Amino acid sequence: MDRTMAQAGVTASDIAAVGVTTHRETCLIWDRQTGQPVYNAIMWMSKQTDDIVARWSADGLDGQIRARTGLRNDSFFSAGKLAWLLEHVPDVRRRAQLGELAAGTVETWLLWNLTGGRSHLTDPSSASRTALFNIGECKWDEWLCAAYGIPMELLPEVVPSDSCFGYLDAAVLPGGHAASVPVMAILADQQAGLFGQACLEAGSAKNTYGTAGVLTVNVGDAPLIVDGMTSSVAWTLGGRTTYEAEGVVFHSGQTLHWLRDKMRAIDSSESSEALAASVPDNGGVYFVPAFAGLCDPHWDRNVRGAIVGLTLETGIEHVVRAALEAMAYQTRDNIDALARGGMRIPTLKVDGGGIANDFLCQFQADILGIAVHRPHGLERTALGVAHVAGSGVGLWNGADDIAASWRVERVFEPAMSETRREELYAGWQDAVTAARGLPLRKPSSQILPADNQPLLVAR
């Protein structure tokens, strides 16, 4: 916050309101008196709760979780992470039942600290990604919390996304003005991106290419349960709740980071475009980036990443091209699932760091057979929550102004024949099938002694 203010040349007295948007599902528990976490946060991609969700599945909870929350019984979501903390950290369950502890996903933790521990709140968009929230009733689900063994005393109060969530603590910003600055919006990141992309009508959709890839579709004023996808609250604004259908792929832009940082195959994510364009096609190579399993629409956490179709003619440019193509194939997986659920997408808006890559945007249009719209200003997530927060203090008129601010920078029209499109996509589906059929073995790097020092293993 200090760096941003310095860069913009503003002081605390210039701040009218604050909006908070963060990634989702990651959660933690902390002491209400000291504000200290009782244990490390458990990240959204962590699989350490697999045994817990398997137990819930054996208990017959899968159907109830799906019907009540719109989600699946999977370690991706927050419920299993809270259960793990309650079961594995000494004395946490007893203290939670006494009301001594607070829990939340990252936006709730940030709000707690921004307000000096005075606000323990969240909004429906964030709560709906925990597998604890009943999306039909828009409240924490008491039946599920009891089934999970999670005390409801831990949970934050859920209020509309455009509420006044409290005021900044005087220590947060210099100049003594902080105590009069309200937090006027909380939106989960993908939902904030949906709003920032002005996807305000049912059927409008955006795809974000970040660490993960996320297709988010406005489905209107009632939940839409689509096989292979999740259903969540998009936002509650002006007293009205809007819902979304969503398809998450765990590894999108992170695949390029892996090629850069682990494989040393590229110097930067930006250099991937030139490499991909240096060959006429993928040479039959497909990259399935299932480093932590496959999410929507497959929901197979046991599969691992694979590169298939390698020959002696394969160069690193083919592998890099296949990695970029995988980002687009995974988006089509989810758009096809949505179509099978009865909702077709006429055009796709895109955002996130990945869309600076023209090759990716064009290939996405080609493999979908629909136009891809890239906006001016690639980071629409922050802008979305800013407009909600600013509307709360009279700076903007929420939906109208965000729609007026959205301008297309470039439209990528499909240029590939349908025959070629389906041929390539069939190859992708074969690659996914092959990856899912590979035996799963734990890598030797997981075999570490208790002090976390490397262990030498004789060959």
What are 33-79's pLDDT values in tens digits?
A: 999 999 999 998 888 999 999 999 999 999 999 999 999 999 989 99
Same domain? For 296 and 352 the reply is: yes
Cβ neighbours for 80, distance < 8 A, ≥ 6 positions apart? 49, 52, 53, 56, 74, 131
Total domains present in the chain: 2
Give me the CATH number covering residue 120: 3.30.420.40
C-beta of residue 132 within 8 angstroms of C-beta of residue 140: yes
Residue 456, token pair as written in the block: 């030498």
Same domain? For 316 and 345 the reply is: yes
User: If you ran DSSP here, which 8-state letter would residue 155 be given?
Assistant: S
Half-sphere exposure for 396 (CA within 13 Å, toward CB): 21
Output the pLDDT for position 269.
74
Report the chain's terminal Cα–Cα distance, integer Å: 51
The Cα–Cα gap between 401 and 284 comes to 46
Q: Which amino acid is at 387?
A: H
Output the pLDDT for position 138.
95
Same domain? For 99 and 209 the reply is: no
pTM, rounded to two decimals: 0.86
The Cα–Cα gap between 328 and 412 comes to 13
C-beta of residue 191 within 8 angstroms of C-beta of residue 375: no
For the chain, list residues with pLDDT below 50.
443-459
Same domain? For 136 and 234 the reply is: no
Q: Which amino acid is at 88?
A: H
Domain that holds residue 419: 189-438
Cβ neighbours for 376, distance < 8 A, ≥ 6 positions apart? 407, 408, 409
Same domain? For 54 and 193 the reply is: no
Output the pLDDT for position 459.
31
Output the pLDDT for position 268.
81
Output the pLDDT for position 173.
78
Same domain? For 275 and 398 the reply is: yes
Same domain? For 169 and 296 the reply is: no
Same domain? For 182 and 202 the reply is: no
Same domain? For 79 and 226 the reply is: no
Cβ neighbours for 113, distance < 8 A, ≥ 6 positions apart? 35
Q: Which of 153, 186, 219 is the last residue of a domain?
A: 186
Q: Which of 186, 215, 242 is the last residue of a domain?
A: 186
